[in-house]
Amino acid sequence: MARQAYVNGRYVPHGSAAVHIEDRGYQFADGVYEVVTIIGGRMIDEEPHLDRLERSLRELEIAMPMSRTVLRMVMRELVRRNRVEDGLLYMQITRGVSPRDHKYPGPSVTPSVVMTTRQGDYANSAKFEDGVKVITIPDIRWQRCDIKTISLLPNCIGKTMAARADAYEAWQVDADGNVTEGTSSNAWIVTKDGTLVTRPATHAILNGITRLSILRIAGEEGIQFEERPFSVEEAKSAREAFTSSATSFATPVVTIDDRTIANGKPGSLTLRIFECYMDYCRGLREPKSGGQKERARRAG
């Protein structure tokens, strides 16, 4: 069966899926999105992703287009139709179709909903064994990076800069010289004394769902961690570094701006976190508490 997409209440062939030319997502990037990884037919962290989706919609005053129950039904049906065992589901909700005008239209406008899936075994990659390179770039984004908006042009610029430097990711740096996050991932380091460090979830970063799962796992494993800013120089001098997202999981970083991190190999704590997280994704490890949901609530 040909690949299908979901567009505003209909399942349609992926190749002909489209939205109206005056959809505000197309003209203003006026919308939000989520990406849910699928491993072994399981949607990983589905509920936290939907929690964040609803939060992003609230922050932009976009109405939830359907109940969460119906949204989950649509997600599962699209995955079933496309026979995705390993891959991802992308969902996007915009304010809808309205004559072009910068101000928000009235409540009569119906939000647009699109979903697509992609096949891919993201859990098996040489990057987890070999590690990756990142570069650092100035953070030129707006001041509400906590909203998972489809307005991603600065991220696209940064990701392109990374690709041209033969790097996996670009870590963005604020005016104080501290790392905020990657263009599509959160940034982590491990200090000389073995403390796990990541930027706190403020308006300066997106509160990654994988980030929250890793923090929960760190707590369960007795790993000391801190949520605080860290500088580029601290990152380059760290014992370990890694980057996290729904599709990069916990990817070891072995080079930052051509500076080798430690011995240039994935660190033991990073690999431990990666294995624990993958056990969780495969259903071999259940959360021991509601700490993830509580942490997400506080960050929101």
- Predicted TM-score of the model (pTM): 0.93
For 283, the token pair is 């259903």
Residue 251 has pLDDT above 50, yes or no: yes
Would you state the pLDDT for residue 289?
57
Instruction: Please give the average per-residue pLDDT across 184-192, as a whole number.
Output: 98
Q: What's the rounded Cα separation, in Å, for the pair 263 and 251? A: 16
pLDDT tens figures, 106-159: 999 999 999 999 999 998 889 999 999 999 999 999 999 999 999 999 999 999
Q: Is 293 a catalytic residue?
A: no
At which residue do the structure tokens 């960050």 appear? Answer: 299
Residue 297 has pLDDT above 50, yes or no: no
The model's confidence at residue 27, banded by pLDDT at 50, 70 and 90, is very high
Asked if 146 contacts 206 with a C-beta cutoff of 8 angstroms, the reply is yes
Neighbours of 164 (CB within 10 A): 9
Distances (CA, A) of 158 to 64, 178, 207: 31, 16, 19
For 143, the token pair is 């001041």
Q: For strand 186-190 and strand 240-245, is the pairing parallel, antiparallel, or unpaired?
A: antiparallel
In order of their start, the domains of the chain are: 4-119 (3.30.470.10), 127-299 (3.20.10.10)
Exposed, middle or buried, 54 (CB in 10 Å: 0-12/13-18/19+)? middle
At which residue do the structure tokens 């390179």 appear? Answer: 133
Q: What is the mean pLDDT of the chain?
A: 95
**Of the listed 103, 127, 133, 148, which one is catalytic?**
148
Asked if 148 contacts 32 with a C-beta cutoff of 8 angstroms, the reply is yes
Sign of the alpha-carbon torsion through 66, 71, 73, 77: positive
Instruction: Please give the average per-residue pLDDT across 17-42, as a whole number.
Output: 97
